Amino acid sequence: MGKSTTQEKLFNRYYRIFIFPMIFLLYYLLSYLVNPFSGYWEELWKQKWTDILIEGVIMMIFCALITEMSLIIARQLNKIMPWNEKPIARSFIQLLLQLVSVGLLLAVLYYTLFFIFGPPPKATKPPDKLDEWQFVFVCSMLAILISAVHTGHYFLQRWKTSMLEASELKLKAAEFKQIAMQAQLQSLKLQLDPHFMFNNFSALSALIMEDKDVALSFLENLAKVYRYMITNLNNDIITLAEEEKIIRAFAYLIKIRHGDNVVIDIDIPASIAGRGVPPITLQLLIENAIKHNMATAARPLLIKIYEDDSGRLIVSNRIQRIRHQIQSTKLGLENIRNRYRILSDQQPVIKEEDGMFIVVLPVLDI
C-alpha cells in the first residue's frame, strides 16, 4: 500500500512537469487547427511583446488550472464512483463536471483579463462569436484529454495491480499445493512402517523359538533394513545403487522366511544406478509378490529386477496366485502410485501378460 502511494505521488509530480507545458502548447495547436483563418492570429502578432508574454503566462496558468480541475474531478470520482461499478454513469458525470469546470474557469479568466487589461476597446465590427465558441470548445477538449490520460493511467495501474495480485495468488496456491503434497507424501511414507514390520516381526517371533543364532542374524539384518527406512524417511527419492544395497539385505530376510521357495534376481546396471526411485519401492513390490503368490519347493516364486530397453526399471514375478487369499488392501501398489504422482509426471505401469505380473517403474532424476 505504501509503495503504491509513493508511486502515485511520483507520477503526479512528473505528470505535472510534463503536462502543464504540453497542455499549453496543445491549446494553441488545437486553436490553430480548428480555425487557422481566425482573425485572432493576425491580431496576436500586432500586439506588444509584453502583452503577448502576459497573455502567455495567463494561458499557462489557465491550462494548469484546467489540468488540476480535471485531475481533482477524476480522483474524487474514483473514490465515490469507481469505474468498475457504474461505468456509463461515471463517464456521463465526469464529462459533465469537466464541462462545468471549464465554464467556471473561463468565467474566472474573463474577469481576470478584464481586471488586468480593462474593458475591451469598442470594435468597428461585432466580435466573432465563432472564435469565442472555438475557444470554449478547445478548452473543453483539453479538459477531456487530460481526464482521459489520467483515467488511462488509473486503468493501467489497476491492471498492473490486478496482475500482481493474481501472480501472488497463484504463487500462494502453488505454495499451499506444495505443502499439501509434502504432507501427503510424508503420510504415504509413514504407511510403510506397519506394512513392513508386521511381516518381519512375525517371522522373527517364530525364529526365536526355533534357532536363536539365526534369529539374531535375522534381527541384525532387520535392524539394518529398518535403519535404512528411518534414515530415508525425509528423502523423496533414493538412488537405485542405495536401494539395491538394502534390497540385498532385505533378500536375506526373505531367504530366512521362505528358504529357496522365493528367488530374487537383481540386475541393476550401472547406467541407471545413479538415478532414483521413491525409497522402499522395490521392497514393497517384493513383499506384494510374496503376499499374493504361492511359493513352494516345487514351484519357486521367481522375482526379477532389471532394466528394459527404454531405461526403465522392471520388477516382475510369475503369477502363482494363492487360491484362498485374504482380500488385498492394495496398500503397497497404491502407495507407489501416489508417491510417483506427487514426485513426477511419469507413472508406473502395472500389467499382467504371458503369466507374468509386471511393474514398470520410471527412474527419476535426483
Q: Where are the domains of the chain?
A: 2-179, 191-361
pLDDT at 118: 62
Tell me the pLDDT of the chain (366 aa) as tens digits.
444 555 555 555 666 666 667 777 777 777 777 666 666 666 666 667 776 787 777 777 777 777 777 778 777 887 888 777 777 787 778 778 877 877 787 777 777 766 766 655 554 444 455 566 666 677 677 777 776 766 676 677 777 777 887 887 777 776 656 655 554 555 555 455 555 666 677 777 777 877 778 888 888 888 887 787 777 767 788 899 988 988 888 888 888 888 899 999 999 999 999 999 988 888 889 888 988 899 999 999 999 999 998 889 999 999 998 876 655 555 678 878 888 888 888 999 999 999 999 999 999 987
The helix-helix angle for 240-258 and 281-292 (nearest 10°) equals: 30
Distances (CA, A) of 72 to 61, 141, 148: 16, 17, 13
Tell me the pTM: 0.50
Question: Distance (Å, rounded) from C-alpha 89 to C-alpha 71?
Answer: 18
**HSE-up of residue 135 (Cα within 13 Å, Cβ side):** 18
What residues contact residue 31 under an 8 Å CB cut-off, 6+ apart? 38, 40, 134, 135, 138
Of 329, 338, 328, whose CA–CA distance to 187 is shortest? 338
Largest CA-CA distance found in the chain, in angstroms, rounded: 135
CB 254 within 8 A of CB 295: no
Judging by DSSP bridges, how do beta strands 301-307 and 313-318 pair with one another?
Answer: antiparallel
Which one, of 237, 312, 307, 295, lies nearest residue 267 by Cα?
307
Kindly state the cell numbers that stand for 336. Answer: 507407489
| The pLDDT of residue 325 | 60
β-strands 349-353, 356-361 pairing: antiparallel
Task: Specify the fold of 191-361.
Answer: Heat Shock Protein 90 (3.30.565)
> 354: phi > 0 → left, psi -120 to 50 → alpha, else beta; which?
left
* DSSP secondary structure of 299-348: S-EEEEEEE-TTS-EEEEEE--B-TTPPPP--HHHHHHHHHHHHH-S---
